Structure formats: C-alpha cells, structure tokens
Structure 1
Amino acid sequence: MSAATEQSGDTGAPAIGGATGWRPWAAFLLGCLFFCYGFFQRVSPSVMVEDLMRDFAVGAAILGNLSAFYFYAYAPIQIPVGLMLDRYGPRRLLAGAAMLCGAGSLIFAFAQDVNLAYLGRFMVGAGAAFTWVGAVTLVTLYFPLNRFAFLVGITQFFGMTGGVFGQAPLAAAVAQYGWRTTLAIAAVAGALLGALLYLIVRDRPKPSGAGTAPWVSVMAALRHVASNPQTWIAACLGGALVGPVLAFGGLWGVPYLMQVYGIERTAAAGATSLFFVGFGLGAPILGWLSDYIQRRRTILIVASSVSLTTLLLLLLIPGLPLSVASTLFAFHGAGAGAMVLSLATAREHNRPDMTGAVYGLVNTAVVGGGALLQPLIGLLLDLQWDGLMVAGARVYAVDAYRWALAVLPLVSLIGLVAALLTRETFCRQQQ
C-alpha cells in the first residue's frame, strides 16, 4: 500500500496519525467483527443444503454454484479492493460494504427463485470482499510491523469464530426459525455493523497537498507484484491451505457427515465447526510462533503436511469413529491457519509500498480455491447421483461423497509443493 502501509516502527505506537487511546483497538475490533460476519455468511449455506435444494428445486451442482456466487463476487475484486482502500481509506468503504452484505442477505432471504438468490449471494460476496483486506488494512494503519503476524492471526481467529457460528448455532436457528427468517436477522446485523464502522473508524490523514497515486503507478505496482514468483507461490499455497476448509467445512461437510454417520444436521454442523475452531486457534498461534522463531517456510511445510495427512486419513480409512474424524477436522483447520504466513511471506518478498496489491492478489487465490472447489464437488456428486430423493432434496451415497471429495488431497499436495518452493524471509522485508 501507499499511505496505508507507513509504519511507526517497532515502538508499539499506533501508525495512524493522531489515533491514540481506545480508537485503534475499537477500529481493530470492528474490523475483526466484520471479517467474522463475512465468514459467517460465507459458510452459512452448509447447514441449509437440504432446505435450499428443496425450496429452489436444484441439485448439488447448482447448489454448489449458488454457494460459490459469494466467491465469484469476492475473488475478482480483491486487488481493486486493496487499491481502493489505499486511495480512499477504510471508513466509508468498510461501512458501505457491510451495508451491501446486509442488503444481499435480505434479498437471499426472500428470494423465491434461484436467480434472485444468485443476486443476493453475489451482493453478499461483493460486500464481504472488503472484510479480510479491510481488517488487515486496519492492522497496518493502526499498529507497528512487529505486531503484524500476531494481530492478523487474531483477525483470523475472529473470522473462524464466524465460521463456528455459521455451523451448529446457525443450524439450531434454522431448525427453530427457518432459514429465511434467520438470514433476515443476519441482514439487520450487517446494517448495524456498517453504522458502527462509519462512526468509529477513521481514515489516515493525508499530508497537505498529497494526492492519490496515479493509475499508471497502480498498474506498475501490479506488474511488479505479479512478476515476482514468490508472490504466486504464496498465493498458490494460501489457496491450497484454505480451499479444502471452504469446500468441505464450508459447504459439503454437513451433508457428508449426515449421510456417513446418520446424524442430525445440528450434530453434523457441530463436528464440521471444528475445522474453524482449529483454524481460529492455529492462525494466531502459528503467527506468533513464526514471529518468535523468525521462520516462515518451516512452519508452512509442517502445516501443509498436516493438512494433506488429515485429508488422506479421513478419506482413505472407512469407518472412522466420529470423534476421530472430528479431531482430524480440528487438526486440518489448525494447519490451514498457516495461511496467515503465506500472506506474510508475500508481503516480505515485495516492496512495502505495494502491500495493497500483494494482499489483493494472495487473497484472490485464497478465496478462489473455495470458488472452484465448491461447485466442482457438487458437479462430481451429481455425476454419481443414483436418483434417490427424500423430501424433495437429492440424496447422495457415501461412495459418491468419497469420490467427489477425493479432489481435496490433490489440492493439499499442491500446497505442500508450494511450501517447499517458498523462499525463507526470516521475517524480514526482502525488498
């Protein structure tokens, strides 16, 4: 980033001009809560699979596509989001994005056909596109470099808390009130969050006479970041770590567990929420550990190996007790939490004034993994469907799930290769 990435050094003082006392922490907390809300919206379809199939009369492929419409809006605008936050500041952009999320959730809640649901889901994704990059921007604005990895890990913890609330608690709310009423309430929450962001967050004051970066410099920054192989390695690694969590934990895990173990939706959602519990704990712990030992690559290799191993155990060993499978979910999520280190390595391998472009490009790959895997698994399920329907919703056999989910270890293997190709930064800026 440009103005947004000026740091105050390692003194611990807020980086933003004139911001002291409670406001930096309040702004940071609101950024975390917005990311939490966005992640809640991201995974919410996972506990509504049967309801959405029935109410919209669709199969797994279309449902996967409907869920992925969040990512279709989210992923392509990550780089523009970073540049807009650099140019215009976070206050109005984050407030407006939260309002857009709420409006999209309301449209989805009252949609009577799948096309209107597509629109609502797309709007939610467009608003949520500002959550992660916006939260990281607030960390960069308000806090010094030596707190970056830890505070970004805390931000991820809040996001995964949203993932947890989007599982068992949301499943219970859907069972009690129905999915439409529940999402309408979520829409109101988005509007309230937008109002708080507008009231609390402050943009960085610009020096007298300062203007915004010309478009040519923006394009030069993008070209520079994209020409660095380590940027693409970090992006690939981040996508491979998070993609299986978004695909399995964020959509297909609940119906898979209901079919394999014959359990109710709330219990299945409780088990899959351990993906996000592990992620939420793993991100800040691994971020702190990496900063402490001054190493990125070693932790990324170990975390990628854990992600791959847990998926292989889950899919290759039939008859695993649910308690064992749930434990593996948590370990997989913890390994995926190393995504914060892929972001850190990408940042450290590029110039400090190009951080906005780095954040946007890496996060595009991270959410792009989910955007590709969710509908791909749905398509593979439909190819294996034997025609069975219950209460107006398609039912897929256990073997169909295992066949469709076999793509996930392949993705994790790609992540391990990317980790091995990562060049160590020793937690220092390389340019």
Structure 2
Amino acid sequence: MTQAQVGGWRAWSVWAAGTLAFIAAMFSRTSFGVAAIPAAEQFSAPVGAMSMFVIVQAGVYAAMQIPAGAVLDRLGSRNVLAIGLGVMTAGQVVLAFATSFPLGLVARVFIGGGDALIFSSAIRLILLWFPPRKIPVLTQVTAAAGQAGQWLSAVPLVMILSNWGWTTAFLTVAASCFVGLLIAVLVVRDAPPGLVVTSRGSGGLFAGVGEVLAMPAAQLAFFIHMLAASAPIAFTFLWGFPYLTQAQGLTDAQAGSLFTVFVIASMIVGPLTGMLTRRFAARRTFLALGIVGLSAVVWTSALVWPGYAPHWLLVLLLITIGADAPASNIAFDINRSHVPAHRIGTATGVTLVGGFSAGLVVVAAIGVLLSILGGPNPSADDFRVAMSAQLVVWVYAGIMVIRKRRQLLRSLPSADE
C-alpha cells in the first residue's frame, strides 16, 4: 500500500460514516441507563431487577467480541456495520413495544449483539484508510466522539421519555440506528482502491482466532484494555450513580453533573492521549499504566475518606475514570503496530473482551458484596468495601501488563513496543 492510497477526502468521509455509526451504537447502548424507573413500570418489575438488562446486554457484548472480530475479518467493515446496526434497530423496535420482562431481555440480547459489531469495524476503517502517524489520534477522537451518544441518552432521550413515553423514546433510538445503517451502506468502503485485506482463505470463520491469541502483542492489548476499561464500565454502566447518591449523599442532579464531568474528561483526554501515544510509541504501555495508577490512587482516597468525600475529590474521581477510557484505546494501537491487517478485526475483538469481561466481573462482585454486607439497604461503609473490588482487578491486570510487555519485547528485534 502506497502513501497515495490512504488519506484524502474519501478517507475522511469513510471515517465520518464509521464514527456516526459508533455514535448511534453508543446511543443505543446507553439508552437503558436513563430509563430504569420507567422500565420498572413498563415491565411491572422491581427497580432492582433492571440491573439484569444491563448485565445481559453487556454480557452478550463481551461474549460476541471474538466472533464479531472473526466475522469482520471475513466480511469487511461495511457489511458488518450494516448487520450490527440492523440488529440493533430490530432490538430497539422490540424493546419499544415490549411489555413483558422476558421479551425486554430478548431485545437487549439483540442490542448487545449488534453493538458488538460496531466499534471494531470503525477502528478497522481507520487502520486501513489512514497513514500510521494519524491512527493514534483518530482512534482516540473516534472513541471520544462516541460520548456524544451517551449525551443523547442523558439529555434528549430523557426529554422524549418524559414527554412522549416509552414507545416513542425507544423508536427514536431505533431510528437513529437505522439512519446510521443507511449512511454506512452508502458511504463506507472497506479499504482504499487496490488494497485487498479481507481474509477469504480456506480456513473456517474462526481459523485466525488461535493465531491471534498466540501473539504477544494481542495478549498485551487484552490486558491493557482490562486494566483501563474495567473501571469506566463498572462505574458508568451500573454502580457509579448509586455510589454517588447512597454512599456520598449527593442528589440525583449532583450525581448527574458529575457524570457530565466524566464525559467531558473522556472527550478532552482522548485526543491528548492519542498525541502522546504517537509521540512516545515505544513507551505507550507506561502511559496506560500511569493514567490508571492515578485513577487507583484517587479511587482509593475516595473510599477511605472518613465520612463523605469532599466534592473536589469526587470531581477528580470522575475525571480520572474518564481518562481511563482513552487509556484503554492504547491497546488498539499495540494491535495496529504488530498484528497483520487481515487479523485486525479478530485482534480488536480479543482486546475488547479484556475490558468488558473484567468490567462485568467488577459489576457482579460489587453487587454480591453489597447484598452480603447490606442486603436491600447497603450503607456507605458497605459501598466502600464493595467498590474496593475494582482494586483487585487493577492489581491483577497491572501485573499482567508488565509481564506481557516483557514477553512482547523479547519477541521483537528492537527494544521498542
């Protein structure tokens, strides 16, 4: 592939279409998080049971990552984006009209499965359409742009839900996914003209999975993502809001404003992390370790602070958790440097499993600990103990990142990542 084959207006239009698809997916992914109380009324179920919708959706998302990557390497980004957005559209339509708890869960299975196909497809487009010097920053900008989908859930969707009800709200989400599908089909092309990277060998669909799992770079990327993505997932998907309101005594409005801090921090830190990754590519693993290390210090400080933590510390907590999300994207840059182009989809899927599986473990561990310690009404001290489950994942993942980096360096001719 020559330099003339990448970049230019065509590349930017393909990137924009892929990014819009990811924004629609994030809107779909986070839409249920603002609807727990209306959902309990819609499905005639306890509010506590609504966590099942989050766990099922995120579990399907994590379980689908490796199959999604294998499909991506076989079919290419355009087809996979269309499939993913189509499945999410169907899931949101079902959810809009569902009135039973089981049917609602089925809808979230479709939504999680379709969502699993989107981000890796968007990342693959960046890797194939742009020169290497632009890839780290564009990867971070794409991930940061996805926060616009979370904002769509937090503001416009809440307004629609309040004024026009459940069905209209989730049909709106379905419509956004369908618009993303149309744009992807019309605009996205898998690779620049003359470049063929889609694997169509005689092996089965999962023939490359074992190959990727054996790569030191893919193993390092897996644990970097586990290290950096687990806390944002556990905090924003389920336990952050209850922690801030029940353990820290904030009002719903105050907790919501802190989640806005998380979104803004992710959007600002993302491009900065991309530039630092490009500038210090040989030491990018240490950048991820440093960002997460700061989060661990702030997280621990908030947990051990006697009584309610001061507001400035909670703001700092949300800033550092927001910075963790861009740090997790360093994993994709490791893949970009060392994984063959025809295995990038599979490698991206393997990487995403790291963060989401660890995030689900933390979500479940916190829930179990709260149930054991506090039952239906956990205290602030119960939350302190339960939220410390994140520290265990950080320690384990940090040790594995250091070990896998050493293994990668031993496999390379130079001492650079």
What's the TM-score, normalizing by structure 2? 0.86
Provide the rounded CA distance (Å) in 2 between the counterparts of 1:314 and 1:180: 39
**Is the aligned partner of 1:313 residue 2:301?**
yes
What's the TM-score, normalizing by structure 1? 0.84
- 1:117: Cα distance to partner? 1.1
Provide the rounded CA distance (Å) in 2 between the counterparts of 1:46 and 1:240: 24
Q: 1:177 to 1:219 in 2, by over 3 A?
A: closer
Tell me which of 125, 128, 139 is aligned to 2:115: 128
1:258/1:264 contact within 8 Å kept: yes
Residue matched to 2:315: 326
- 1:124: Cα distance to partner? 0.9
Tell me which of 361, 378, 381 is aligned to 1:399: 381
Q: Which has the higher helix share?
A: 2
Identity percentage of aligned residues:
24
**Is the aligned partner of 1:74 residue 2:61?**
yes
- 1:229: Cα distance to partner? 4.0
- What does 1:14-29 correspond to in 2, within 5 Å? 14-15=5-6, 22-29=9-16
* 1:110-165 Cα deviation digits (max 9, x unpaired): 32122111111111111111211011111122112221111111111112332344
Provide the rounded CA distance (Å) in 1 between the counterparts of 2:85 and 2:317: 34
**Is the aligned partner of 1:364 residue 2:364?**
no
Q: 1:277 to 1:209 in 2, by over 3 A?
A: closer
* 1:200-241 Cα deviation digits (max 9, x unpaired): 112347869999522538655322221234422321220231
**One-letter identity of the residue aligned with 2:221:** A
Three-state SS of the structure 2 residue aligned to 1:256 is helix
Provide the rounded CA distance (Å) in 2 between the counterparts of 1:209 and 1:324: 51
Residue matched to 2:362: 373
1:304/1:335 contact within 8 Å kept: yes
**One-letter identity of the residue aligned with 2:25:** G
Tell me which of 57, 74, 84 is aligned to 2:71: 84
Provide the rounded CA distance (Å) in 1 between the counterparts of 2:196 and 2:279: 40
1:245/1:275 contact within 8 Å kept: no
Q: Which is further off, 242-251 or 75-84?
A: 75-84
Residue matched to 1:3: none
- What does 1:207-356 correspond to in 2, within 5 Å? 212-216=199-203, 219=206, 221-294=208-281, 295-317=283-305, 318-356=307-345
Q: 1:308 to 1:205 in 2, by over 3 A?
A: closer
Provide the rounded CA distance (Å) in 2 between the counterparts of 1:74 and 1:288: 29
Q: 1:344 to 1:217 in 2, by over 3 A?
A: farther
Q: 1:208 to 1:420 in 2, by over 3 A?
A: closer
Structure 2 unpaired stretches of 5+: none
Tell me which of 383, 390, 398 is aligned to 1:416: 398
Provide the rounded CA distance (Å) in 1 between the counterparts of 2:303 and 2:155: 23
Three-state SS of the structure 2 residue aligned to 1:216 is coil
**One-letter identity of the residue aligned with 2:300:** L
**One-letter identity of the residue aligned with 1:355:** I
**Is the aligned partner of 1:38 residue 2:38?**
no
**Is the aligned partner of 1:117 residue 2:104?**
yes
Q: Which is further off, 184-193 or 353-362?
A: 353-362
**Is the aligned partner of 1:148 residue 2:135?**
yes
Provide the rounded CA distance (Å) in 2 between the counterparts of 1:23 and 1:207: 14
1:167/1:273 contact within 8 Å kept: no
**Is the aligned partner of 1:193 residue 2:180?**
yes
2:94/2:107 contact within 8 Å kept: yes
Q: Which is further off, 257-266 or 354-363?
A: 257-266
Provide the rounded CA distance (Å) in 2 between the counterparts of 1:321 and 1:86: 49
- 1:192: Cα distance to partner? 1.3
2:68/2:349 contact within 8 Å kept: yes
- 1:329: Cα distance to partner? 0.6
Q: 1:41 to 1:269 in 2, by over 3 A?
A: farther
Q: 1:181 to 1:401 in 2, by over 3 A?
A: farther
Residue matched to 1:4: none
Number of corresponding residues: 409
Residue matched to 1:391: none
Consecutive aligned runs of 4 or more in structure 1 exceeding 6 Å deviation: 205-211, 428-431
* 1:76-119 Cα deviation digits (max 9, x unpaired): 22223223223222223212321221221222233212211111
- 1:364: Cα distance to partner? 1.9
1:99/1:127 contact within 8 Å kept: yes
Provide the rounded CA distance (Å) in 2 between the counterparts of 1:341 and 1:85: 21
**One-letter identity of the residue aligned with 2:395:** L
Q: 1:108 to 1:400 in 2, by over 3 A?
A: farther
Q: Which is further off, 129-138 or 324-333?
A: 324-333
2:57/2:109 contact within 8 Å kept: yes
Q: 1:274 to 1:50 in 2, by over 3 A?
A: same
Provide the rounded CA distance (Å) in 2 between the counterparts of 1:222 and 1:386: 42
Q: 1:343 to 1:210 in 2, by over 3 A?
A: closer
Residue matched to 1:167: 154
Provide the rounded CA distance (Å) in 2 between the counterparts of 1:429 and 1:41: 42
1:283/1:339 contact within 8 Å kept: no
2:291/2:327 contact within 8 Å kept: yes
* 1:353-373 Cα deviation digits (max 9, x unpaired): 432221111112222233333
**One-letter identity of the residue aligned with 1:273:** T
Q: 1:39 to 1:357 in 2, by over 3 A?
A: same
Provide the rounded CA distance (Å) in 2 between the counterparts of 1:275 and 1:50: 23
**Is the aligned partner of 1:382 residue 2:364?**
no
Three-state SS of the structure 1 residue aligned to 2:23 is helix
Three-state SS of the structure 1 residue aligned to 2:208 is helix
